[in-house]
Amino acid sequence: MKHGRIIGFLLVLLGLLLAAPMPVLAGDVPLPHPVKAVKGSQCVEPVDTMRREHMNFLKHQRDDTLRGGIRGAKHSLRQCIDCHAIPDPKGASKDRTVGPFCTSCHEYAAVSIDCFQCHTAKAEDGGKQSSRWRHKAGGENLLSELRTHLQGSTKEARP
């Protein structure tokens, strides 16, 4: 009888010990919630593909562009920034930056990237840096036409 109680107590204790770590871990490190994109209704690839493969797309693209000279491709880093850069939440600066979006996940996954030591994380707003298309044909209309077109074809890319 006495032994039975002790064994029962130990079993309950064991159960508690096993159960305890789960909620503690889950509570410690909240899952990342990347901020919503500022532009575009869809990413350049389906979202689940982007979550897993964006680093491969980017590294492939940088070789194609820098070494091969291929421009205006859909996995361009400048394009990511154009859609994913957000305005400063504190309002201290007028610029949109992509830092908060990329770091939200990278902090969670303990990834550190060096891309923004060289590449500006700021979006090219305000018309200071004229875009490729605007420059060439000199028309705002054409630019918006192209945007609509690009959005159309990203839709097609979805399965």
Partner 1 sequence: MNRLTDATRRKLLKGAAALSTLALAPGVMLVRPAVARETGKPATSNVRWGLLIDTAKCDAGCDTCVTACRTENGWTGHDRPQTDPQWIRKVTVTDKRSGAALSLPVMCQHCAEPPCVDVCPTGASMKRADGIVLVDKHICIGCRYCMMACPFKARSFVHEDVTDQKPHAPRGKGTVESCTFCVHRVDDGRMPACVEACTEKAGRGAMIFGDLNDPNSDIAKAVSKHVTTRIRADLGLDQGVMYRGF
Reduce the DSSP state of residue 24 to 3 states and report it: helix
Q: Confirm or reject binding of residue 67 to partner 1 (CB under 8 A).
A: yes
Q: Scan residues 121-140 and list those touching ligand HEC (CB under 6 A).
A: none
Tokens 């969670």 found at: 108
Phi, psi torsion values for 120, nearest 5 degrees:
-70, 140
In this chain, which stretch among 9-17, 29-37, 88-96, 129-137 interacts with ligand HEC, using CB under 6 A?
Answer: 29-37
Q: Smallest distance, Å, CB 84 to partner 1?
A: 14
Which of 102, 88, 107 lies closest to 31, judged by CA? 107
Q: Confirm or reject binding of residue 32 to partner 1 (CB under 8 A).
A: no
Strands 96-97 and 86-87: antiparallel
**Contacting residues toward partner 1, per CB under 8 A:** 62-64, 66-74, 78, 81, 114, 117-120, 122, 124, 129, 132-133, 135-139, 142, 145-146, 149-150, 153-154
